[in-house]
A = this chain, B = another copy of it.
Amino acid sequence: MATLKDVAKLAKVHPSTVSRVLRDIDSLSITTKTRERILNAVEELKYRPDQMARALKMGKSFSIGLIIPDISNPFFAELVKIIENECTKAGFILLVSISNEDQEKEIQHVNNLLGRGIDGLILAPVQNSYNHILELKSKNFPFLLIDRYFETFETNAIISDNEESAFKAVQYLVKLGHNRIGFISGRPEIYTIRKRLEGFKKALKEFNLEDNKEFMWGAGHTFQDGYEATQNLLALNKPPTALLISGNLITLGAYKALLEKGLHIPNDISIIAFSDNVISQYLSTPLTTISHPLEEMGKRAFQLLFQNINTEVRNSYTKITVCTNFIIRESTGKRTS
């Protein structure tokens, strides 16, 4: 691997000059001749600056970290795609880490990434603890939360209108005549989930439906979790006639459980899924879903972080709430039973 020195030697100039040519592309303070000589040398030696050395010297690495709980989930996979793209466009590299909803792993990842000298961090936290996040905050380190949020302290964040969308979903089901509505929510430690539950409960009250604890199931976020929660719900004396389901994978698990019980959607039971993805519409019954503006979330996330990285004084927090989209398909219908 050629270094600055090698290039300098070949072009018969001082390394610092090479560095200048390579950085201040249009600085007039360098002769066209020398510039050309240097550029040729760079070409000839296939010189590529050592980012490690640059990072060390400049105190920034042009890299950002992204920690997500699960990449099997299309929601996060899409987010990775969009954020990676933004990063690349801006000359940053993305370090992706996956917590697998494991708090310990997340903390390790944060430490690891920090040690790697990332300039900023985007995080969808597990939310079992938050000291490590407070630490980031007190260090004034540029970071933002995505999809999830802590209500006990302020940070930069991009989230969606969970409460409102849950409310509207229930509202729609009520309009269809449902009055026994269940909610398979995912882990209630998570802000996103809690907010949806709040919206759900608010709607129950608003429309005078019974607030039946048995109708609310919160466990993990996997396929299996959705599957089991649904089985439990169906095993009740008077099971719900409609279901709100949080999360892509949970939804598929629930779907499987419903089909296995021989239930017809929406004749026997209606379902609404939080999170839309490419397959929502190709299941045997296309799903009525609450869809997230992923493109917008990803782009704004990067923008916000980028802005935060490049500002000297960080003395404010920005919390962006994006609006979801209610997409009506065929998994919701009038109550029949």
How does the 8 Å CB contact mask read for A36-57 relative to B, with 1 for contact and 0 for none? 0000000000001111110110
Given contact pairs A72-B278, A223-B278, A94 touches B93 in the complex (Cβ within 8 A):
no
A78 to chain B, nearest CB (A): 6
- CA A278 to CA B48, docked complex, whole Å: 42
The contact of A52 among B61, B223, B278, by CB within 8 Å, is B61
CB of B61 within 8 A of CB of A71, answer: no
CB of A72 within 8 A of CB of B61, answer: no
Name the residue of chain B whose CB is nearest to the CB of A73: B77
Among A109, A116, A117, A259, the most chain B Cβ lie within 10 Å of the Cβ of A116
- CA A72 to CA B80, docked complex, whole Å: 9
| A216 close to chain B: CB less than 8 A | no
CB of B278 within 8 A of CB of A256, answer: no
Name the residue of chain B whose CB is nearest to the CB of A135: B46
CB of B61 within 8 A of CB of A56, answer: no
| A25 close to chain B: CB less than 8 A | no
Contacts of A84 in B (CB 8 A): 71, 96-98
CB of A81 within 8 A of CB of B74, answer: no
Give A275-298 interface residues, CB cut-off 8 Å to B: 278-279, 281-285
| A307 close to chain B: CB less than 8 A | no
What are 17 pairs between A and B in contact, CB < 8 Å? A50-B115, A51-B116, A52-B52, A52-B56, A52-B116, A63-B95, A63-B116, A71-B71, A72-B78, A72-B81, A74-B77, A84-B96, A84-B97, A93-B112, A252-B278, A255-B282, A256-B281
